[in-house]
């Protein structure tokens, strides 16, 4: 009886050791695969974009959504350059990356001259904190499904929550 108990114990030890070796091999394979995938990813990616028609305000804006895919230095800058539908210099929008945030939306000021079906170029640049040369540059296009004529010329609603701050010195209140 003592010999058979010894054999059972020995078989258990061999099986436990083999299981531990297989699990360690799987863990190493997963770590190596994850490192390979992370190396292939860009820091950020453009998830989508398009034109935003704010009909109540009578404004058309362009925007993109950017997703952070792998760790990026805090306080890095995202700079998006949108082709100006009215012609002239591109419209540039900038934001800083904040720790823990994964999604960023970059939206232009109001635009004019948007043409239905025409692709407009968008360039996204990622700069390190204080960097002058971009870490990454990505390009995409956005296309409007409506002409600028579809948007009203001015705001449809005037009142609290729908007005824009006045430019210049404040006007005195009527007496």
Range of the domain at 101: 44-150
50 to 15, 106, 129: CA distances (angstroms): 59, 11, 28
Phi, psi angles (nearest 5°) of residue 30: -65, -40
pLDDT tens for 127-143 read 988 888 898 999 999 99
Does any domain span residue 87? yes
Does any domain span residue 145? yes
Q: Measured between alpha carbons, how far is 36 from 143 in angstroms, rounded to an integer?
A: 35
**What sign results for the dihedral spanned by CA atoms 33, 36, 42, 48?**
negative
pLDDT tens for 26-76 read 999 998 888 887 766 788 999 999 999 888 788 899 999 999 988 888 889
Any residues with CB less than 8 A from the CB of 99 and at least 6 apart, and which? 74
Does any domain span residue 164? no
Number of structural domains in the chain: 1
CATH number of the structural domain spanning residue 85: 2.60.40.2550
Does any domain span residue 115? yes
């Amino acid at each position: 009886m003592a010999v058979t108990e010894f054999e059972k114990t020995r078989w258990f030890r061999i099986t436990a050791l083999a299981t531990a070796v297989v699990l360690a091999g799987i863990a190493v394979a997963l770590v190596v695969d994850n490192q390979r995938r992370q190396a292939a990813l860009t820091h950020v990616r453009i998830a989508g974009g398009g034109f935003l028609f704010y009909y109540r305000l009578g404004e058309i804006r362009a925007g993109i959504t950017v997703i952070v895919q792998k760790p990026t230095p805090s306080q890095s800058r995202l700079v998006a350059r949108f082709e100006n539908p009215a012609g002239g210099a591109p419209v540039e929008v900038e934001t800083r990356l904040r720790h823990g945030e994964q999604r960023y939306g970059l939206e232009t000021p109001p635009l004019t001259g948007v043409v239905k079906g025409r692709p407009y170029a968008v360039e996204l640049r990622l700069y390190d904190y204080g960097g002058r040369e971009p870490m990454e540059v990505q390009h995409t296009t956005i296309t409007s499904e409506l002409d600028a004529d579809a948007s009203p010329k001015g705001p449809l609603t005037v009142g609290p929550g729908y007005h824009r701050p006045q430019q210049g010195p404040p006007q005195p209140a009527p007496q």
